Amino acid sequence: MCGIIGCAGRGDATLDTLLTGLGNLEYRGYDSAGVALANESLDVAKKSGELDALREAVADRTLHGSVGVGHTRWSTHGPPTDANAHPHQDCTGDVAVVHNGIIENYQQLRDELAADGHEFRSDTDTEVVPHLVEAALADGADPEAAVRQALARLEGSYAVAVVVAGVDAVFAARQDSPLVLGVADGATYLASDVPAFREYTDRVVYLEDGEFARVEAGGFEVTDFEGNAREVTVDTVDWDPEDTGKSGYDHFMLKEIHEQPRALRQCLQGRVDELGADVSLEVDPDVDRVQFVACGTSYHAALYAARLFRSAGVPAQAFLAHEYALDVPPIEDDLVVGVSQSGETADTLAALREARRRGARTLACTNVVGSTMARECDETLYIRSGPEIGVAASKTFSAQLAALNLLALSTVGPGDEQMREVIAALRDLPGDVQAVLDDTNAAEVAREYVDSDGFFFIGRGANFPVALEGALKLKEISYAHAEGFAAGELKHGTLALVTEDTPVFAVVTGDGEAARKTIGNVKEVEARDAPVVAVTDGESDVGRYADHVLEVPATNQRTAAVLANVQLQLVAYHVANELGRPIDKPRNLAKSVTVE
């Protein structure tokens, strides 16, 4: 969840490189930031709050160092204060550490170190690490060996980067938290995510769990924790650093909403044969049963996908990953699919690892090439949406729905009439999304209801996950109370909350039984004076009962859900914008949830 940047070989540009990298990682979510530069001594600066506070703190200081590390922290142990910000140092001030993850045995280690005379200045679990390194150095270990000895004492998840006064290297290690190296001529980088250093190099090495790296100006060495050499692969990142800019939009989220037509084209390209009514994926289509595991927005995509598989005659269920890992259902010959934008979601990784331990075949549905999930699973289905910077998922959710449509279709077999119809709808989907973006009146709806007491989102069938996602988006970025649920649940309790100040967004597409029953639910809330916003393709008469209509093009019901979701994304964005919220960096949230 936090962000790490490190570099060696940047000379006088080390500080600027670290600050630039931290700026590129702001999207991950944070509440404090800091840097440490190493020469014969250590120069450290850290501040709570936005990155600008750190920039101001170093503006009047001269920080020198041939190597350095930086960090954006999202609080877990202790509030966001200057003292709790990373990097953390030892008693001598010669060791500085930045850390993502949670050290589960930190209290035991802290008590032990305090008993030996070490003084602690923060509430964090991280601070035990520099003191462990200090103790090993005092016992005669060289700096690299001291870091290794400290890591051997840790239990939990971590990505750690360490600098030591007088050493022109950064020591780094990974266990259940992402860490990637950037390789350039004359300089080497490390970070929790590629955007931190993408403008300097497109060559990367993804570290695996249990790997240790020594990063220097002239290159790097990767070993296991015991010091045995590891073979690594240098990959090339295929996206441009400009892809992570705002391109003239006020917010990354708005830009990424408008990038959805392109993201969908990228997702579908080369994978569908409309003439032959066939789908081509690098995934084994032989599936008896499917279990999906995911969290948050990706869980909503999993709910949607499970319906697709069931409609194809394949039994399928979607599980919240953090609950699945605690109470794993019978697996037998099931395919277990982990859905995660980042491929680093800790809860989803834990669920997949437990499924693999029980002998399941696993598949990762993710956006990030080289992510932990992609490397650990038996197979991978990339959604190919391009980098997403806004914390609230937008284009990645739409691409997940498209990719999971393809996965479900691959089990049907070529030539099936249902497949032919859905493929045609998928072909038209990018253009249909563009039509929504061009013609939407979501800003008008947002202005009308921005001061409401609460918001309800309802849908049935494939539109039920869309209702959940619409509510989640509004909560994430506007901080308004919002609830999404299956439309049939209204009469089972939620009607007690419905008033003239709680608009109800009803997702109604097609004119089948689901649409007719949802219209009945609309009439229920209308009778209680609640305003109704219908998200509809006009195939039913729901519009006559609505105060406002958000239109989507008529299409197959599977792809209509994607279009309805785009309208709800826009409503959430405009409500948050009217309220002046920090849309790209909502409070308390992080882009990649890498701790359980």
**Active-site positions?**
2, 591
DSSP string, 4-44: EEEEES-GGGHHHHHHHHHHHTGGG--SEEEEEEESSSEEE
Contact in structure between 34 and 213 (CB atoms under 8 Å): no
DSSP string, 224-258: ETTS-B-----EE--S-GGGGS-TT-SSHHHHHHH
Tokens of 190: 């490390």
CA distance 125 to 103: 6
Of residues 153, 145, 148, the one with CA closest to residue 110? 153
Cα angle 478-484-489, degrees, rounded to a multiple of 5: 155
Separation of first and last alpha carbons in the chain? 11
Residue 87: asked if its preceding bond is cis (omega within 30°), the reply is yes
CA distance 80 to 454: 30
Pairing of strands 316-320, 290-294: parallel
Tokens 């039984």 -> residue: 513
CA distance 527 to 529: 5
**What is the dihedral angle through the alpha carbons of 279, 344, 33, 581, rounded to the nearest 10 degrees?**
50
Of residues 469, 458, 533, 480, the one with CA closest to residue 503? 533
State the SS3 of 535-583: EECCCCCHHHHCCEEEECCCCCHHHHHHHHHHHHHHHHHHHHHHCCCCC
CA distance 591 to 310: 31
Of residues 436, 474, 508, 476, the one with CA closest to residue 257? 436
